[in-house]
Structure formats: structure tokens, C-alpha cells
Chains A and B, each alone.
Chain A
Amino acid sequence: MEQLLLLIFLPLAGAIITAFAGKSAKIISTVISVASLVLALFIAGNFIPDASTQFEANLPWIADLGIRFHAGIDGISMLVVLLTNLLIPIIILSSYKHDYKNPAAFYALILFMQTGLLLVFTAMDAFLFYIGWEAALIPIYFICAFWGGKDRIRINMKFFVYTIAGSLFMLMGIIYLYLQNPADNFDIQAFYALNLDSAQQGWIFWAFFIAFAIKMPIFPFHTWQPDTYTTAPTQGTMLLSGIMLKMGIYGVIRWLLPIVPTGVQDWSGLAMVLSIIGIVYASLIAFTQKDTKRLVAYSSIAHVGLISAGIFALNQQGMQGAMVQMLSHGINVVGLFFVLDIIFSRTKTNKIEELGGIAKAAPQLAIVFLIIVLGTVALPGTNGFIGEFLLLMGVYNYGIWTAAIAGLTIIFGAVYMLRMYQNVMLGQTNTLTINFKDIQGTEKLVLYIICALIIILGVYPKPLLHITEASVQHLLEQVNQKLTSVK
């Protein structure tokens, strides 16, 4: 319990310290984030990979309303907690070459966001979950709105209003569940035990699904995302794409499926269709994008579409694939955005046609970029393959045609990723890229870590699969049990 509280509140304490640290904010936030990573690894080391909830903290909070500070870690949480605490130090390190105005606020916001994210990923109380959900949104709004690029205020307004509109539907759902709950509390187990008829489940499904779909984002709720990713400062984009969109996926797995399995079953066909449309649609759009960041943004929509398709296939392979892919996608997309940031910081452009020939000037960057691209296109031996393979297998068990269409992602992914790689890195150097400096210092460190993770997790993914296996199995059993008991 103490470990968990420390895990959640260490970044918050760090945020407060950092906020007053002035010039040394960079260093302090790095130390804090690395400490949280160590803590998360320690927790992972002591984690017993069965279906139970561990390190549980269950403290009274707002007693009159039955709200408790109830958090815990099971296999599903463990993975995303690891992802969060792994990526935050990487993201902070990736900002070392930048000189952001008012660094204390910048790094404090990142750490503050970490606490929000960790609350989301460990909450066992719906109210706490909602608090974390919104707490994670506020800092990212400020990061994007203060340090973003052109037209940032309008775009961020849209992002903020869009996501918060989705969250309000979820809030309504949570309140409804609370009112239905005879125990008068927000506890997740009590919600699991609720007996709702299929009409109620349908409504709750939509209330939650819209919130999660906007966050992920699933087609057609995605239009805030490319603009926001493009204008946000790179660290903001990394936070959004690497961790924040996993909130939506995690929400589906943790809250949507077990609480309203009948609703999910009734509507999974539609969710599946949306996911698969998203895969093909976003991949196709990525084909002709002229801006590298926007291209990766669309590719992220396609990848998330596959993840959600795997989840709504409702089987072990799809679900575990989704878990692994959450982690892999987080690592890969952060790597991609970092590489694009490095290129942007040296050439001052994101336009694909203006670049080219960087491989000649920066061979090391070419190699790490290639490894990250290969991870993204799911080459066997990289982390992306494990996730996509399991996901496609899960989708396959749903239907062969869905798998055939979803599988187009492995072709289309190769097309747009390699197109980008070719146009940016290969070919002749031009005036912009002739004096391109190769990666150095922290850039090297971060990219090497990312590449190492891509390969290690691709060659030996067993620990990840092992952590999640029992919990996912338990979750599916729970869902199936509830489905049969309703019939």
C-alpha cells in the first residue's frame, strides 16, 4: 500500500518541488522521474503475476458519498504503470536540447500529469478514476497551449472541449451507476456486480465508449488529434500519443468490458466496424501526408484502431495483444516523434518534400530511425510484431474478413512509413540537410534506450505476456460469466 501511494504521489511532490526550482527544474524533474521509474520497476519486481489486485490502498476519502481512495495494481494496471513511468523520464530527457521558456512550469506540469495518469491506471474507485482522468487533461492542455506552435490556442481549445465533452458523458455514466448501486459507493467491484438490463447497459456503454473513443481516438472521433499532435510541443505530443491515448484503451478494458458486457456484446459489431474503418482510413490518409508529424499522427490512429479491434474481438489473444501493443506503441511513437523533433530542430521543417538524404549526413540517426520504423511496421523481432500478431489473431477469431481488412495495416503501414523514411532519410542531401549533425548526448541515450526496448521486447516478450496473462484471463472469465448469467 505504501509503495503504491508513494508511486502515485512521488511525481506530485516532484511537481511541487520542480515548480519552485527555477533553472534546475530540468535536473530535478529528471531525478524524480527516474526515481519513479525505479519504484515502478521495484513494484513490478514484487508483483505476483496472478489475477489479484496487489499493493492495494483503500482509504476513506469523502465518506458521506461512499467515495474512497481505492487504488491497486493488477496485471493490466502493472503494464500501463510501467509504460507511464518508463516514458516520462524518456520524455523529460528528450527535452534536454530544448530551451523552453519557464522550464519550471513545463517540467512541473509533466510530473503533475504523471500523477493524474497513474491515478487513472490504478484507480479502483470510479470517482478517483474520474478525478485522475481530468487531472491528466489539465497539464497537457497547458503544455500544449503555452509551448505549442502556430494556432495553438484554437486547436487546443478544440482538443480540450472535445475531450471534456466526452468525459462528461462518462461522468453521467458513473453517476448513473452510482445511483443504481445498492451499496452507495463508487467501488469498481460493486460496479462489476451490478445487474443491469441490456437497455441500461446499452446506454452506459455509449456514455463510456464516447469518452474512451475520443481519447484513443477511434474513427470518427479523431479529428482533434492530427492538429493537436502537429501543433503541440514534441514533449506534449509524446505525452499525448505515448501515454494519454492509452487511458482510453485502458478504460475500455478496465471499466467498459466488465461493467457492461452485454452492452459491449450488443454494440461490439459497430465498435469493430469503426475500428477497422479507422485502420484503413487513417492508413490511406497517411499515404499522402506532407507533414511528418501529421503522418505519424494518422499512423497512430490506424494503430489504435487495430488495438481497439483486438479488444472488441473479446478473446485472450486480442486482449493480450492489445496490452502488449499499448506498451509497444507507446515506445515506438515516442521514438518516432523524438526523431522528427531532432530533424525539425536542425532543419526547421517538417515538410517531407523539403527533406532528404539525411542518412548520408547522420548515419547513426538513420539506423535508430530505421529500427523505430521497423518496430512501427511490426517486423518480426521487434516489439510491434508481438502486439500486432496477437491482435490480428484475436481479430481473426472474430472473423476472417475482419482480419483480412485489419491486416491491410501491415501492408499500408509499410507503405507510408517507408515512404516517409525514404523521402526524409534517403536520396540526395539538399541545402537543408547537408550540414545535418548526427545525434549526440542525451539524444543518443534516449534513442538507444528506445531501440534496445524495441528489440528486446520483440525477441523476448514473455515477461510482458506473463504479467498480463492471468489478469486478462480473469477479466474475460468475469465477462463471460456475466454474459451467461444474464442469459
Chain B
Amino acid sequence: MTIEQLIWLVPLLPFLGFVINGLGRNSLSKGLVGIIGSGVILASFIISVVIFFSLQGDTQKSHEVFLFDWISAGTLHIPLSFLVDPLSSIMLLIITGIGFLIHLYSTSYMHDDEGFGKFFSYLNLFVFFMLLLVLGSNYIVMFIGWEGVGLCSYLLIGFWYTNSAYASAAKKAFVMNRIGDLGFLLGVFLMFNFFGSVEFSKIFPQAANMLPGNNTLILITILLFIGACGKSAQLPLFTWLPDAMAGPTPVSALIHAATMVTAGIYMIARSSVLFDLAPFTQHIIAIVGAATALVAAIIALTQTDIKKVLAYSTVSQLGYMFLGLGVGAYTGSFFHVLTHAFFKALLFLGAGSVIHAMHHEQDMRHMGGLRKKLPVTFLTMMIGTIAIAGLPPFSGFFSKDEILAHAFQYSPVLWGIGVITAFLTAFYMFRMMFLTFSGKYRGTHHEESHVHESPAAMTTPLIVLAVLAAIGGIINLPHVFGGNEWLAHWLSGAGVAQHELDLSHSTEYALMGTSVVAAIIALLYAYTRYVKGARVPVADEAPRSALAKLSYHKFYLDEIYDFIITKPLDAFSRFFYRVIDTKFIDGIVNGLGWSTNEASKGIRLLQSGNVGFYIFMMVFGIVALLLYTFLYI
């Protein structure tokens, strides 16, 4: 079987799963729904593996598979076609692989939920759209997936829709994504005007011959980046992601950590040819990425909800990836996408396991001492934490350091921000771990007796992901450690721009040493503070220092947005409706009718009923007409 024959099955299978589970959500048994839901993803994964290996053995690294003509109008032709190349094939593995693990996990995690069938059908639909996103051979097919995953995110964040706060969070996610989507769409229009096509295979070869700094390219890339900002939760559009934690935890793991939010990075890596030609945009991306990484990390320091910590950590890590993209480390960023997918999915699933054990308690102030109760969860999450903290030899270390090395080369200031963020990351992650797992249980004794380790369907994914998070670094082992940078070579086959590091090995060692030392200091500080000191975050209302308050209240970003955007728009809305529309415009219309009425009221008085008067007026009129005719004509 060739790639062309197999590829359409990869998205089709999850779609079938969606249809079957969607239609049978009330009639199929939970077991069957789980088997179908996970089975289709597993099948997709197996096919993806086959495709991956046949692509590896293939000399032709990119296959375009045409399905049908979707939209055509005038010179615009948009086929629905897929592109299989090294970049998309790796994404396929991630989406279906991690997707499968999370589906498996969900069969147990969601088992007692009445919306079990609905949940799996949404999850399958998400995987379908995500696959469409990465498989599309042009920006429009990518956009279908792009918005489709946004829809699934909306559906799954609002999964428990009877809670209106959750429903609001879902809406917020959708709308904020839409802001980015408008940028994306405008970028695509501009691209169509400029290149005459929206196909990757037509745009990139043309762009390759252009000189850097072309103004149109800068505009295109900025617009695309706005799109990425929305989807990948970058400043100033990131506030939806923490709220998105309203969804069930497997959703947070799959959509809001491992796959969907990395779509922006995928898109920019895919378009690296364009971005490489727009240094100005890259500069902006690097700054926005670094700022997001830092701001989100600061917020994460004081959060008390275990999922919120992870959510801000995700935002922060995404900022890292954008920093990497901005400084030209496309491979490094993509590498971080992979490792992040492993350890962040792991951490979320671990958090889910904790929440499951705690009977839907998410506040870390009520946890503590769970290490004995949840040994597997603890162990695997610890691996994830070490990985995200960037301690060698776990995967996060390699990917983070690749980005940092490139950042150093680009601008030491950005590197400095990166290291500070790494320090903060290590601190808040260990803080989370210690608050959750060490010390004494902070709930009632009765509650404590109910805490128990999760079943195998939940722990197996954790273990698999933990292994991946531990060893994932080898896929792009840098030269300094004697590696061959396999991922970089592989991705160059997909046209992802590569920039060699121009640093001596000793500099590289020094940079790594700095970040590792920073992480270790953070670890020790967290240890003394939360294990030795056994400190617990104060209650919501308790007084905090100004900085802690700022962090705890997320820099008041939501309130600021509410004040400068939502409130004024609503005020405008009311003003337009009550004053302009009803009073002014409709007033003119009604005024016309009114004045006609009034005029008729006046004029009808002439109709006195006096026949003599009528006759007189008639004669008068005739005479006047005659006179007019005589005098003027």
C-alpha cells in the first residue's frame, strides 16, 4: 500500500468514530463507545506509523494527495488535498499516538459521566479536525482544521454546559480564537493576491526566490502570526486558555496542551520559508514569545488550582516555542512541541488522576501527602516535572536548551528572559508537586480514606507518556552530546528552514549549565519552602504582597479586557440601539410619516363641505391656469 492509498484513512477513521459514537451516544453501551472511540484512533495511529516508516524509506519526501475540488471561483481554486511530508507525518504520530493514550485514559476517567458517548464523539471529531489541520496541502484546508479544532475546543470546554461559568469559558475560547482567525484569513487573502495561490507547493518555491524584508511578506507573516497568537494562546490573546480548564481533564491534556494549542507553531514551522524572509516579524514573534513565557510563568507561581498551574505552564511553554520560532530555531521549537506534548499531556493526565482520586477537588490547598496513596501517579508526574524543569537527561532539557542556545545567538536579553522563565518554571512545577504529594493530607480523615490510585486504564497512559517524556530527547540529540540531530535532518525534508548554531561547544555547555543550575536552585528553593517549611498558599481573600496579588490575579488581564473591550462594546451596542437606531434613524423614518400626517391634518381643513367654496376654488383655479397660459406660454 502506498502513502496515497493510505492517507485518507487516517482522518476518515476518527470521523467514522465521531459519526458512530455521535449517533449511538444513547444506544451504545459505554464499553462499546470506548472501544470504538479509542479503536479508531489506534487504527489511525497504526496507519500513521506505517506511513511514517514508508516515508522514511522513500526518496520522495512529500506526497500530495488530491481528493476533490472544494471551492473554485474565478482564478481561485481550492482543492481538498493532503500533503504528507516529514513534518506532517510526525504530527500525525503525535496526534494519533497521544490521542490514543488520552482516549484510553478517558474510558476510565469519564466512565461515570452521563455524557460518555457525547464526550467520545467530540474527542474523535477533534482528532479528525486536527488531522485535517496538519494534513492540508493549502492554507484553506488548514483553516478548516484550524477552526474545526476551535469548535471541538468550544464543545469540550463547555462539556458540562449546565454550569454557566464553563459555558462562558467555552465561548471566550471560541471568540478569542476567532480574533486570531480573522488575522489568519486576511493573511491568506493577501497571500492569494501576492502569490496567486494558497497551495504550499506553489507559494514556498516562489517565496524562496525572494529577498528578505519584502513588505508584503512582512504583512502576511504578521497576519499569520496573529492567527497563531489566538490558537496558541500568546499575548495578548492567551486569557482563554486558563479558562479552558473548565473542560474535562483529558480534554485539557489533548487539546489544551499536546495538540491544538501547538497548531500555531506547526503553522509557522510549515511557513518557515515565509517567516525567514520577514526578519521584522520574527523579531516581534521572539519578543511576544518571551513576554508570554515570562508573564505566564509569573502567574503560575501563585495559582492554587492544580490545573490552572498547568494551564499557565502551557502558556509559558508555548511562549518558549514562539521565542524559538522568532529566533529561527524552527526545529528547536518543533522539538519542544514534541517533548512538551509528552510531558504536558503526562502532567495533565497525572493531575486528572489526582483530581479523580480526590473526587473532583482541584484546589492544591486541600491536597498534600498523596505520594503514598498514588504512587504511580506521583512517580510519573515527577518524571514529567523533571522533564519540564529542564533537568538532564530528560526530554525537556534538550528541546529547551536548543531554543535557549538559538536565543542566545539572536539576543542575550531574550536568552536571559528564557533562563529566568526556566527558573520560574522549575519553581512552580516543584511547588505544585510538593503541595500535592508531600507533607500531610489537608482534608478530613474521612475523605482521606477514599483516596486511591486510579485504575490501569488511567495509569498505563501515564507510564507510557512518562517513558516518552524521559527519553524523548534522543530524537534530536545535539552534536555536543554526540547526537546526529535526527529531527533537524528529517524536517529539512519538509522544507523547514534550518539555521546552524554558530556557537562553540564550550559556550553551549556554559549555557546549558546556567539553565540547569537555575532549575536546581528553583527545585531546592521550592523544597525548602514547601517541604521543609510546609507552607500552604493562603486563602483567596487573605492579604498578599502587591507582586503576589498581581500574579494571583493574572495581572488583572481579564478585568482590563473587560474594561477596555467588552464594556465599551456593550455600551456602544446599547447606545447604537437606543439612540442611533431607535431615536435617530428610525426617528427620521417615523418623522417623515409623522410630518405627512400632520400636513394632511392641516390641508384637509380646506375640505370645508361648502359647495359654493368648492365651485369658487374651481373657477379660480381655471382662471389662474388660463392667465398663466396667456401670460407665460
Contact = CB atoms under 8 A, between A and B. Distances in A.
Interface in B562-595: 569-570, 572-574, 576-577, 580-581, 585-586, 589-590, 593
B136 to A, nearest CB: 11
A131 B479 CA distance: 81
Interface string B397-408: 000000000000
A317 B77 CA distance: 11
A63 to B, nearest CB: 35
Interface residues of B, number: 52
B570 A380 contact: no
B167 A426 contact: yes
A317 B74 contact: yes
Contacts of B68: 460, 462
Interface in B62-94: 68-76
A360 B114 CA distance: 12
Contact of B147 (A220, A284, A379): A379
Contact of A422 (B164, B178, B182): B164
A426 to B, nearest CB: 4
A357 B175 contact: no
Interface stretch (A236-244, A262-270, A409-417): A409-417
Interface in B154-207: 154, 158, 161-164, 167-168, 170-171, 174-175, 178-179, 181-182, 185-186, 189-190, 192-193
A234 to B, nearest CB: 23
B151 A379 contact: yes
Contact of B185 (A357, A407, A414, A460): A407
A427 B161 contact: yes
A130 interface: no
A418 interface: yes
Contacts of A419: 171
B352 interface: no
Contact of A288 (B73, B573, B593): B573
A281 B573 CA distance: 8
B143 interface: yes
Contacts of A386: 71
B144 interface: yes
Most chain B beta-carbon contacts within 10 A, residue among A404, A415, A426, A429? A426
A422 B167 contact: yes
A393 B585 contact: no
Contacts of B585: 220, 222-223
B463 to A, nearest CB: 37
A392 B151 CA distance: 21
B148 interface: yes
A288 B570 CA distance: 6
Given A393-B192, A427-B167, A223 B186 contact: no
A418 B174 contact: yes
B593 A426 contact: no
B589 A158 contact: yes
Contacts of A403: 186, 189
Interface string B474-517: 00000000000000000000000000000000000000000000
A460 B147 CA distance: 18
Contacts of A473: 74
Interface string A351-374: 000001101100000000000001
Nearest to B164: A427
Contact of A407 (B148, B161, B167, B182): B182
B74 A285 contact: no
A469 interface: yes
Given A158-B589, A410-B182, A285 B73 contact: no
A321 interface: yes
B164 A285 contact: no
Interface string A298-324: 000000000000000001110011000
A414 B175 contact: yes
B225 to A, nearest CB: 15
A285 B589 contact: no
A286 B170 CA distance: 20
A349 interface: no
A315 B74 contact: yes
B573 A411 contact: no
Contact of B73 (A317, A359, A381): A317
Contacts of B170: 422
B80 to A, nearest CB: 9
A374 to B, nearest CB: 7
A288 B571 CA distance: 9
A255 to B, nearest CB: 22
Nearest to B26: A363
Contacts of A428: 162, 164
Contacts, number: 137
A357 B573 CA distance: 26
Contacts of A161: 593
Interface in A206-239: 220, 222-224
A379 B178 CA distance: 10
A423 to B, nearest CB: 9
A380 B193 contact: no
A465 B69 CA distance: 11
B243 to A, nearest CB: 14
Contacts of B163: 427
A359 B593 CA distance: 44
Contacts of A465: 71-73
Interface in A385-406: 386, 389-390, 392-393, 396-397, 400, 403-404
A289 B70 CA distance: 36
A408 interface: yes
Contacts of B190: 396, 400
Nearest to A162: B589
A86 B76 CA distance: 28
Given A285-B573, A380-B148, A403-B186, A389 B71 contact: yes
Interface in A447-467: 460-462, 465
Given A223-B581, A427-B167, A359 B161 contact: yes
A287 interface: yes
A396 B181 contact: no
A426 B175 CA distance: 17
A411 B178 contact: yes
Given A161-B593, A284-B569, A360 B162 contact: yes
Nearest to A357: B162
Interface string B223-267: 000000000000000000000000000000000000000000000
A461 B74 contact: no
A320 B162 contact: no
Nearest to B179: A411
Given A407-B185, A414-B175, A428-B162, A316 B573 contact: no
A390 B78 CA distance: 11
Nearest to B587: A223
Nearest to B72: A465
A66 B248 CA distance: 72
Given A284-B573, A403-B189, A411-B179, A316 B161 contact: no
Interface in A282-298: 284-289
Contact of A320 (B74, B158, B181, B572): B74
24 contacts: A158-B589, A222-B585, A223-B586, A223-B589, A286-B573, A316-B73, A320-B73, A360-B161, A393-B76, A396-B186, A400-B189, A404-B182, A407-B182, A410-B178, A411-B175, A414-B174, A422-B167, A426-B161, A426-B162, A427-B164, A427-B167, A461-B71, A462-B71, A465-B72
Given A359-B161, A396-B193, 16 more contacts: A222-B585, A223-B586, A360-B162, A380-B146, A386-B71, A393-B76, A396-B189, A396-B190, A397-B193, A404-B186, A410-B181, A410-B182, A411-B179, A428-B164, A429-B162, A462-B69
Q: 9 closest pairs, A vs B, by CB? A: A316-B74, A223-B586, A287-B573, A380-B144, A426-B167, A427-B164, A396-B189, A426-B161, A288-B573
Interface of B: 68-76, 140, 143-144, 146-148, 151, 154, 158, 161-164, 167-168, 170-171, 174-175, 178-179, 181-182, 185-186, 189-190, 192-193, 569-570, 572-574, 576-577, 580-581, 585-586, 589-590, 593
